[in-house]
Structure 1
Amino acid sequence: MKTCRLLLILLLNAAGFLLFFSWYLPAQHGFWWPIDTGLFHFFNHKIVESQSFLWFVAITNNRAFDGCSLLCMGLLMLWFWRQADKPGRRRVVMIGLTMLMTAVVLNVLGQSVIPVQRTSPSLSFNDVVRVRDLLPAIPTKDASRDSFPGDHGMMLLIFACFMWRYFGQKAFAVALVIFVVFALPRMMIGAHWFSDIFVGSLSVVLVGLPWVLLTPLADKVINQLNHRLPGKYKQIDNK
């Protein structure tokens, strides 16, 4: 591995640790606390003030809407799959499998290594309005007993980074839009704090993912899957 690439990995790791400890070490989480509480109360009041916003957060936090996020990610990968020749299509599938394995590993490590168990804002205050109470007809995820780091946001960030690594900047930009559309409703409804996503999820990605995407590891996993899984058009790509 080149020295400049190693330096970049270490800088990204340092940024991840600094981000996490800027939240973890200060009393009451330092400057993150007013951001977290301010955003939560702003959106919680909006739920009462606006019937349209109430329906919006209810629908976007329904389990079926999670399927829409998977559909959007799948459609983006499908676009690149359709542009490729048959061996290339197989490789796109292996990239997807590698991404899923990476997401599972980082999520497990993030949940087990980080010494934090934090309830969502909807369970942290007495004067909270719950969407499920105002709109019981639509099942919603509006609370979590352990919201840090945000696993949903982490998966979307990992997807965006894989898009950048293997499909370029335009794919990365589209993936970031998908991240915003599907991660922010969790914060708006009170199932996650702002810092669950923009400190917890992001810090895990900054520390763990560079060792996968900026080293030969991801390519080696893709090539091994390509070589070992059954099917036509097997190949080993050493790029």
Structure 2
Amino acid sequence: MRRLPAVILLNILGIALFVSWYLPSHHGFWSRLDTAIFMFFNHIAANSHAYAVFLAVTNYRAFDITSLLAMGLLYLHYLLRTPPDRRYQLISLGIVMLLSALVLNQLGHLLPVSRPSPTLFFQNEDGVVRVSQFSRIPTKDASMDSFPGDHGMMLMIFAAYMLRYFGGRAFACGMAIVVLFSLPRVMIGAHWFSDIAVGSLSVVLVGLSWWLMTDASDKAVSWFNQRLPGVRDRRYQ
């Protein structure tokens, strides 16, 4: 495979990233960084009801629709720019992207890690607040098992597909979506920073590299494309 060296390099980076967090006692410098980030945002929430309400709204389950809408609009932009005879191929690509995201998310949760979110870990500390209680809005501000960040992983997978099939500009837009919609989970304390920066990213680097940097994804797109009705050109090019 032409891209095998790059695939191996990404696997090494992903494994090294995970090991840098997993092996050190109490997760080493990642723990200090996680704590500092959580305490910074939680202190602001404790002293600003308006900010707490903002966090509650941006982490409300229904607000997740906005991230889906953002990804959908970006994908629609490229779909509409594609010649009509190739649009079925992008529909097949969308199916493959969704299925690979679901599979990779399940595999990510097989990692030998289970830990509560910072809101639960620090819930007995003086000055620490739960945004759902402080704002009285039933929002997602805690998780009994927050590693890896599944929401952030889904967003990263979307960005990786944008890079693979649509290029650098699409990837930049995809990464903006990653930051914009994963950061609120960290700010409210539903996830540690390392849940996303280590957990989500390491899984994507290892798992998705074998899928997107080989011909596996192209073959899957072609397989689905052959089974969509009304398709003439059945190969992804």
Give your verdict on TM over 0.5.
yes
**Residue 217 (str. 1) matches residue 216 (str. 2):** yes
1:106 corresponds, among 94, 100, 104, to 104
Residue equivalent to 1:34: 32
**Residue 178 (str. 1) matches residue 197 (str. 2):** no
Residue equivalent to 1:132: 132
Query: What's the CA shift string for 1:180-234, capped at 9, x where partnerless?
Result: 11000000000000000000000000100010110000000000000023x2124
Report the TM-score when normalising by structure 1. 0.95
Count of aligned positions: 234
Residue equivalent to 1:44: 42
Could you tell me whether the CA contact under 8 Å between 1:72 and 1:178 is conserved in 2? yes
Could you tell me whether the CA contact under 8 Å between 1:148 and 1:200 is conserved in 2? yes
Residue equivalent to 1:228: 227
Shift of the 115–160 alpha-carbon distance from structure 1 to 2, 3 Å rule, reads same
- Please give the secondary structure, in 1, of the residue aligned with 2:234: coil
Please give the residue correspondences for 1:48-67 in structure 2 after superposition, counting only pairs within 5 Å.
48-67=46-65
Letter in 2 for 1:118: R
Q: 2 CA distance for matches of 1:34 and 1:238?
A: 46
Give every structure 1 segment of 4 or more consecutive aligned residues whose post-TM-superposition deviation is greater than 3 Å.
none
Letter in 2 for 1:142: D
- Please give the secondary structure, in 2, of the residue aligned with 1:31: helix
State the 1:238 CA deviation: 4.8
1:121 corresponds, among 105, 118, 121, to 118
State the 1:73 CA deviation: 0.3
- Please give the secondary structure, in 2, of the residue aligned with 1:209: helix
Q: Compare 120-129 and 206-215 and name the one that shifted more.
A: 120-129
- Please give the secondary structure, in 1, of the residue aligned with 2:52: helix
Could you tell me whether the CA contact under 8 Å between 2:89 and 2:236 is conserved in 1? no
Letter in 2 for 1:63: R
State the 1:87 CA deviation: 2.5
Letter in 2 for 1:35: L
Q: 1 CA distance for matches of 2:180 and 2:223?
A: 34
Structure 2 unpaired stretches of 5+: none
Q: 2 CA distance for matches of 1:207 and 1:84?
A: 30
- Please give the secondary structure, in 2, of the residue aligned with 1:141: coil
- Please give the secondary structure, in 1, of the residue aligned with 2:109: helix
Residue equivalent to 1:164: 163
- Please give the secondary structure, in 2, of the residue aligned with 1:73: helix
Q: 1 CA distance for matches of 2:227 and 2:45?
A: 51
Q: 2 CA distance for matches of 1:228 and 1:64?
A: 33
Letter in 1 for 2:63: F
Q: 2 CA distance for matches of 1:129 and 1:89?
A: 49
Could you tell me whether the CA contact under 8 Å between 2:56 and 2:131 is conserved in 1? yes
Could you tell me whether the CA contact under 8 Å between 2:45 and 2:131 is conserved in 1? yes
Could you tell me whether the CA contact under 8 Å between 1:120 and 1:190 is conserved in 2? yes
Q: 2 CA distance for matches of 1:118 and 1:57?
A: 22
Residue equivalent to 1:87: 85
- Sequence identity percentage: 55
